[in-house]
Structure 1
Amino acid sequence: MYDMKNLENLKTLGKESEKTMKAFWAFDQAALAEGAIPKKYKELMAIAVALTTQCPYCLEIHKDAAIKAGAAQEELAEVTMVSAVLRAGAAVVHGTHLMK
């Protein structure tokens, strides 16, 4: 089901909903552009979110962008562990609702 070739269908989606896709891409570009937070850090944040939402497309796209922005393998490993601990932490703190 998850195949990077599916992203080619974004063109069709854009044709079928042109106004909203243009707005989405403008938002995407603005949010990930160099700013008060450097591009590399924004891409690492995007990877962390993609790991927690488990979006394979986002992982591939933002991994490549992070590396292009200067991210090292060590940073990719650390962002993986930060994402993992937050997912695990959410389960732990939600477990407090089970305690009496």
Structure 2
Amino acid sequence: MKFKNNLFYIFTFILFLLFTGVYACQKDQAGNAPKENLPDELQTDAQIANLLASMNMYYFKSPRKAPDFELTSLKRKRIRLDKYRGKVVLLSFGATW
């Protein structure tokens, strides 16, 4: 009886891996769904840019330099964006209401 239970679990696991592999192979190499599966309103870059702009987000085809600014850290030190040029910067504006 124990052998049959183990065999069932192994068979179920192999089926899971098989279906997962088939699903993964249906995506393109970038890991995205094929473009023909996108809704019609998202088929071009201009349409994507319009959608992002409607959410106050912007799409740039080439990188753009962020304007330099200065903030005060929690330790009361002045920090400038230029100091982190070429690095990823995450700004978190938390609030405790």
Instruction: Answer yes or no: same fold by TM over 0.5.
Output: no
Higher helix share: 1
TM-score by length of 2: 0.29
TM-score by length of 1: 0.28
Larger Rg: 1 or 2? 2
Q: Which has the higher contact order (CA 8 A, sep 6+)?
A: 1
